[in-house]
């Protein structure tokens, strides 16, 4: 889903720069400020996987816990050739803030395996997943650390993780992982949750700008689970999807594209840039599209100091984690572009993961209508709270979201105290 461009900063440095900018607006004790700058624990695993040709290949994986002050750690697992420990550290920190912004009883975690899943057979993918799950099971539990899907991981992969953990325990433990298929304890509405949250954030932000959602021109970078669902829901609400892209390029049409037709075309041809109803564009071209709303929903560090001046959207809603660098943030702010930050905009996934975990723990499941209603309520409440903090402190939405999150985590640490 990425663009293949050279990233301009270490993602963990980026997360720390955002954090340092936000804590200036808080009167934290120095010890707490330092404590929250670093992950609580980090696990690196190197493990063998039997390949289809009977050779054994060694893979490297990570699981990082940033904070446990507000509850068990929660965070996805990504499979990608570009996974690094610093990337996972950054993503774990962002998960802490995301859970705190939405007031969920979780701390932040993240995991990853350095691999290209597109080059693995289904059997190799299962072997890799089960072995990685076994290696990180020293940290996993429904009470301690609950993984979820992220880039290139699927409900099927979550089912393998759950089954592997359950085999070690001797009984089914559905609450150990979220984002599972519905027949094995998954939640209705989970697959669309992140995209639905992006749609709600877009709607609320447009209202704040006094712009109508109906007819708003939307460009989406990263037409995977998050991007395609966001595009589909916005299209259904009356917005005009004028451009979409994935890692191979994309397509645009000023009169609008039908996201459902695009999903079908991508499933059949494996590409978007050859869509017959549009004009081929690059990922860079998509970011500079003539649109009202830009949704970067691919990988981190896509909007940078090198291209932020070319962004023509009035509103950027971050479907991906960390798609905008701090340098780009400053450029966009100076140009009057409103940015809805990742830790607010794409939190729908972790909200419904929380609902899934609660349902699994009590073995009592809700309807899809209930799920979507509760998700909407939490997203709107968080958006209004962050907006109020931004106005109160005279800061942008990212800083406001971080301020609210850091405040909540710091408060939990102060109440708990330092052991022993």
Are 355 and 187 in contact, with CB atoms under 8 Å apart?
yes
Q: How far apart (Å, rounded) are the C-alpha atoms in residues 149 and 177?
A: 9
d(CA 223, CA 220): 7
110 tagged catalytic: yes
Q: DSSP state, 141?
A: B
Checking 166-172 for CB contacts under 8 A at 24+ apart, the result is 168/134, 168/137
| Options 40, 74, 98, 110, the catalytic residue | 110
Using alpha carbons only, give the angle 326, 329, 333 rounded to the nearest 5 degrees: 145
At residue 336, the 3 state secondary structure works out as coil
DSSP 308: G
Distance, in Å, from the CA atom of 305 to the CA atom of 302, rounded to the nearest integer, reads 10
Helix (H, G, I), strand (E, B) or coil at 228: helix
Rounded Cα gap, residues 109 and 119, in angstroms: 27
- The residues annotated with a catalytic role in the active site are 110
């Amino acid at each position: 889903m990425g663009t293949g461009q050279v990233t301009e900063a270490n993602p963990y440095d980026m997360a720390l720069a955002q954090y340092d900018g936000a804590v200036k607006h808080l009167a934290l004790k120095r010890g707490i400020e330092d404590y929250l700058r670093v992950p609580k624990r980090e696990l690196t695993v190197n493990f063998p996987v039997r390949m289809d040709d009977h050779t054994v290949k060694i893979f490297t994986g990570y699981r990082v816990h940033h904070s446990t002050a507000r509850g068990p750690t929660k965070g996805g697992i990504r499979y990608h050739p570009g996974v690094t420990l610093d990337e996972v550290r950054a993503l774990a920190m962002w998960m802490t803030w995301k859970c705190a912004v939405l007031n969920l009883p979780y701390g932040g975690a993240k995991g990853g395996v350095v691999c290209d899943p597109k080059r693995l057979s289904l059997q190799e993918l299962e072997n890799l997943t089960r072995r990685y799950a076994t290696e990180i099971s020293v940290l996993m539990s429904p009470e301690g650390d609950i993984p979820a899907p992220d880039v290139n991981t699927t409900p099927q992969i979550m089912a393998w993780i759950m089954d592997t953990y359950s085999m070690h325990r001797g009984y089914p433990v559905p609450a150990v992982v979220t984002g599972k298929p519905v027949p094995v304890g998954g939640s209705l509405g989970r697959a669309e949750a992140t995209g639905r949250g992006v749609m709600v954030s877009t709607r609320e932000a447009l209202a704040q700008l006094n712009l109508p959602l109906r007819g708003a021109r939307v460009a989406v970078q990263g037409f995977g689970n998050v991007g395609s669902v966001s595009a589909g829901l916005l299209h259904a609400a009356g917005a005009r999807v004028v451009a979409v892209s994935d890692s191979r390029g994309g397509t645009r049409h000023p009169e609008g594209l039908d996201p459902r037709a695009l999903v079908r075309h991508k499933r059949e041809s494996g590409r978007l840039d050859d869509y017959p109803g549009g004009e081929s564009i690059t990922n860079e071209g998509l970011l500079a599209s003539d649109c009202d709303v830009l949704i970067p929903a691919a990988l981190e560090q896509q909007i940078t100091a090198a291209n932020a001046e070319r962004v023509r959207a009035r509103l950027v809603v971050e479907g991906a984690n960390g798609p905008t660098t701090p340098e780009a943030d400053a450029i966009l702010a100076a140009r009057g572009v409103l940015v809805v930050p990742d830790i607010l905009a794409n939190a729908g996934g972790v909200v419904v993961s929380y609902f899934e975990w609660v349902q699994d723990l009590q073995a009592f499941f809700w309807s899809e209508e209930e799920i979507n209603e509760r998700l909407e309520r939490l997203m709107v409440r968080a958006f209004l709270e962050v907006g109020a903090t931004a106005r109160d402190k005279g800061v942008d939405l990212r800083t406001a979201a971080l301020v609210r999150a850091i405040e909540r985590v710091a408060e939990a640490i102060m109440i708990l105290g330092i052991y022993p």
